[in-house]
Chain A
Amino acid sequence: NAGVTQTPKFQVLKTGQSMTLQCAQDMNHEYMSWYRQDPGMGLRLIHYSVGAGITDQGEVPNGYNVSRSTTEDFPLRLLSAAPSQTSVYFCASTGANSPLHFGNGTRLTVT
Chain B
Amino acid sequence: GQQLNQSPQSMFIQEGEDVSMNCTSSSIFNTWLWYKQDPGEGPVLLIALYKAGELTSNGRLTAQFGITRKDSFLNISASIPSDVGIYFCAVLRGNQFYFGTGTSLTVIP
A residues 17-57 near B (Cβ < 8 Å) are 31, 33, 35, 40-45, 48, 50, 56
Nearest-neighbour CB distance to chain B for A108, whole angstroms, equals 15
By secondary structure, the B interface counts as: strand
A44 to B42, CA, bound (A): 14
Residue in contact with B95 in the complex, picked from A48, A92, A102, CB distance below 8 Å: A48
Q: What are the residues of chain B within 8 A of A31 when measuring CB–CB?
A: 95
Asked if A99 contacts B101 (CB within 8 A), the reply is no
Q: Is A58 close to B, CB under 8 A?
A: yes
Q: Is B49 close to A, CB under 8 A?
A: no
Q: Is B48 close to A, CB under 8 A?
A: yes
Nearest-neighbour CB distance to chain A for B37, whole angstroms, equals 8
Nearest-neighbour CB distance to chain A for B87, whole angstroms, equals 11
Asked if B96 contacts A45 (CB within 8 A), the reply is yes
A42 and B97 contact, Cβ closer than 8 Å, known pairs A102-B44, A104-B40, A105-B41:
no
Residue in contact with B97 in the complex, picked from A4, A56, A100, CB distance below 8 Å: A100
Asked if A42 contacts B42 (CB within 8 A), the reply is no
- Residues of A in contact (CB 8 Å), total 23
Q: Is B100 close to A, CB under 8 A?
A: yes
Nearest-neighbour CB distance to chain B for A18, whole angstroms, equals 25
Asked if B96 contacts A48 (CB within 8 A), the reply is yes
Nearest-neighbour CB distance to chain A for B77, whole angstroms, equals 23
Task: Identify the closest chain B residue to A100 (Cβ).
Answer: B97
Q: Is B33 close to A, CB under 8 A?
A: yes
Residue in contact with B101 in the complex, picked from A41, A56, A58, CB distance below 8 Å: A41
Q: Is A74 close to B, CB under 8 A?
A: no
Q: What are the residues of chain B within 8 A of A103 when measuring CB–CB?
A: 42
**A 72-97 to B, binary, CB cutoff 8 A, 1 in contact else 0:** 00000000000000000010100000
